[in-house]
Amino acid sequence: MSRLIVVSNRVSLPDEHGSSPPGGLAVALNAALRRKGGLWMGWSGKVQAEEQPAALMEKEVGGITYALTDLSQKDLEDYYYGFTNQVLWPIFHNRADLAEYSEARESAYYRVNGLFADQLEHVLRTDDVIWVHDYHLIPLAEKLQQRGHKNRIGFFLHTPWPPADILFTLPNYNTLLRGLSCYDLVGFHTENDRNNFAECLRRQELGDLHGDDCRAYGKEFRCGVFPISIDTAAFASLAGRGDDLQESFCRLAGFDVAIGVDRLDYSKGIDQRIVAFNRFLRSNKHRMRKTVLLQITPKSRDKIPAYQAMQKDVAELVGRVDGELGSVGWVPVHYINQSLGQPELASLYRRARVGLVTPFRDGMNLVAKEYVAAQDPRDPGVLVLSRFAGAASELGEAILVNPYDGEDMARAIETALDMRRDERIRRWTPMMERLRAHDVYRWCDDFLSSLDPPRGSMPSLEPA
Ligand code: F6P
C-alpha cells in the first residue's frame, strides 16, 4: 500500500495527552492519519533564524510522522499574513472589499509553495500518495511536477470556493485555476462550491466539468464533493462522560445556555450574533437573568488590521450588552478569548440548550457537527445554523437562519429555547444518524479512494 503524505500550511501536533488542538482541519487530519498512518508536512508555526530554511524537522507521535519547516519573517508577512489571509481568505469568503493584493504578496505565495516542494523532496518516495490541503497550497502540485515528481496528488479546499464574479476580482486568478488543474483530484465541501469552480472555468472558456470529470488547461482531472466531518463516535462519548469540571469554571448552573465557538474572524458573524442575542433578550423579558450566551472565541491572525479591528469591536459590543442588560449575578454574554480542549468543549456543547453557528460564509463548520454529536439523545439541544455554512446542506433539520437578519436570528433563539423535547428529538435524530454514517473516516476514505485510479485511466472527454 502507498504511503500517505498530507501537506497543509499549519501542522498541529497532538498534545501530550494525544488530543488534537482545536480547529477543524487539525482535528480532521489528525483523526484521519491516526487510522492510516503516514507523514504530515507543513509549517512549524515558527520563524527561522537563518536566511536559508533548515532541513525538515521530523517528529514521530502516535504512528504519525510530522515533518515541519520554518518560514522566514518575510514569508510569514507576505505569504501567510499577506497573500493567503489578506487576499485569498477574504475573496474565498465573498469579502473582496477586504482583499489587499500586492505583487510582492503574490510572489511570496508562489515562492513559499516552491519552498514546500523543495522541502517535500527530502522525504518523498515515488509511490507516495500526496494529499494537499487548503488555499495556502494551491500551486503545490504544479511546483512538484516542475521538479519532475509524478506522484498521485489530490487537493482538498477547506474554505468555500467563491462565485466567478468574486474570484475574478483577484489579479492573475487564472494562475490559481491552472494550479488546480495539476491535481489528479480536487475536492470541495459542497456542490455549490464545485458549481462555482466550474462556472469560473466556463466563463473564461478555460475548461468544463462533466459530472466529476474536468478538463482545463489541456489537463484531465476529477472534481468531487467530499463534505468533511468529525470523529462522531469519539466526540459523542467524550460529551457523554459527564465531565462537569467546566461547570464550576463558568458558573453556568441554573442558566439556559446558548453557545458559540469560533475563531475570532469576520467571516463568523460573531458581532451580529451578539446583537441578535441582545435583541432576543429585550423582546423576551422573561428570559432575562435566566439565559446566557457563552461565546468562546480564540484570537486569530492578530497581526491583520481587519482582525485587530474586530477584536476591539466585539469586546466593546460585549461590554455594552453586559453593561446595559446585566445585573449582579447575571452576565448575559460570557466572552472568552481562549481555545478550550475537546473534552471541555464537548461537555459545554452538551450543557448548552442552543448551539449558535451563524457564519456569513463558511466552508463546512465542524462546530455545527460537534454540537449535534455532543447532545444527550434523550434531551438534545437545538442547533441554530447559518444557511451559508457548508454544514447546512447536511444538517437541514437545524433551525436555518440568515445571519445578516438579526430579527430572524433572535426569533430562532426564542424558538430553540421554547422547543418541546419531542420536537428536539425529532430534529436531532436524523442529523446524528447522518453524522454517524458520514464521519471523518468516511470523508478520508471517500477522498482517497477517489484519488486511487492512476492518472490517465479516466474515460476520455473527447466526443465519440
Ligand atoms: O479552515 C481554514 C483554515 O485556514 C485552516 O487552513 C487553518 O488551519 C485554520 O483555518 C486556522 O487558521 P490559521 O492557520 O490561519 O490560524
| Residue appearing with cell numbers 453593561 | 323
Res. 50 pLDDT band, cuts 50 70 90: confident
Residue 235 predicted with pLDDT over 60: yes
Mean pLDDT of 352-375: 97
> Do 345 and 355 meet the contact criterion of CB atoms below 8 Å apart?
no
301 Cβ inside 6 Å of ligand 1: yes
Cell numbers representing residue 293 in the block = 450566551
Please tell me the predicted confidence (pLDDT) of residue 243: 62
Residues 6+ apart with CB under 8 A from 183: 132, 141, 153, 154, 155, 221
Kindly give the pairing relationship between strand 207-210 and strand 185-188.
unpaired
ipTM of the complex: 0.96
Other Cβ atoms closer than 10 A to 122? 12
93 Cβ inside 6 Å of ligand 1: no
Nearest-atom index, ligand 1, CA of 12: 8
Cell numbers representing residue 44 in the block = 512549524
Q: Which of 158, 189, 334, 438 is catalytic?
A: 158
Kindly give the pairing relationship between strand 64-71 and strand 57-61.
antiparallel
Least confident of 87-91, 245-249, 358-362: 245-249
Residue 253 burial class via C-beta count within 10 angstroms: exposed 0-12, middle 13-18, buried 19 and up: exposed
> Do 340 and 22 meet the contact criterion of CB atoms below 8 Å apart?
yes
Rounded distance from Cα 86 to ligand 1 centre (Å): 13
Res. 33 pLDDT band, cuts 50 70 90: confident
Residue 97 predicted with pLDDT over 50: yes
Mean pLDDT of 172-197: 97
Gyration radius of the chain over CA positions: 22
Burial readout 327-362 (b: 16 or more C-beta within 10 A, e: otherwise): eeeebbbbbeeebbebbbbbbbbbbbbbbbbbbbbb
Residues of the chain above pLDDT 90, percent: 81
Instruction: Say how far apart CA 78 and CA 273 lie, in whole Å.
Output: 32
Rounded distance from Cα 290 to ligand 1 centre (Å): 35
Mean pLDDT of 267-289: 98
Mean pLDDT of 43-70: 86
Least confident of 72-76, 251-255, 356-360, 365-369: 251-255
For the packed helices 342-351 and 232-240, what is the interaxial angle rounded to 10 degrees? 70
Residue 173 predicted with pLDDT over 80: yes
Residue 418 predicted with pLDDT over 50: yes
Instruction: Say whether 256 is catalytic.
Output: no
Residue 462 predicted with pLDDT over 80: no
Instruction: Say whether 158 is catalytic.
Output: yes
Residue 166 predicted with pLDDT over 50: yes
Mean pLDDT of 108-136: 96
Least confident of 198-207, 280-289, 377-386, 397-406: 198-207
Residues 6+ apart with CB under 8 A from 47: 70, 71, 72, 73, 76
Mean pLDDT of 318-334: 97
Other Cβ atoms closer than 10 A to 442? 15
Residue 366 predicted with pLDDT over 90: yes
Instruction: Say how far apart CA 297 and CA 335 lie, in whole Å.
Output: 7
Please tell me the predicted confidence (pLDDT) of residue 207: 82
Least confident of 116-120, 245-249, 332-336: 245-249
10 Cβ inside 6 Å of ligand 1: yes
Q: Which of 334, 362, 438, 439 is catalytic?
A: 362
Residue of the CA atom closest to atom 15 of ligand 1:
301
Nearest-atom index, ligand 1, CA of 135: 6
| Cα first-last separation, the chain | 36
Q: What is the pLDDT of residues 61-70, one digit of tens each?
A: 888 999 999 9
300 Cβ inside 6 Å of ligand 1: yes
Mean pLDDT of 102-129: 96
Rounded distance from Cα 260 to ligand 1 centre (Å): 18
Q: What is the pLDDT of residues 391-406, one digit of tens each?
A: 999 999 999 999 999 9
Instruction: Say how far apart CA 299 and CA 88 lie, in whole Å.
Output: 20
Nearest-atom index, ligand 1, CA of 24: 1
Instruction: Say how far apart CA 369 and CA 439 lie, in whole Å.
Output: 10
Instruction: Say how far apart CA 207 and CA 433 lie, in whole Å.
Output: 38
Rounded distance from Cα 230 to ligand 1 centre (Å): 16
Other Cβ atoms closer than 10 A to 139? 24
Residue 402 burial class via C-beta count within 10 angstroms: exposed 0-12, middle 13-18, buried 19 and up: middle
Instruction: Say how far apart CA 236 and CA 349 lie, in whole Å.
Output: 10
Q: Bigger pLDDT: 208 or 166?
A: 166
361 Cβ inside 6 Å of ligand 1: no
Instruction: Say how far apart CA 215 and CA 459 lie, in whole Å.
Output: 12
Please tell me the predicted confidence (pLDDT) of residue 17: 62
Q: What is the pLDDT of residues 249-276, one digit of tens each?
A: 567 889 999 999 999 999 999 999 999 9
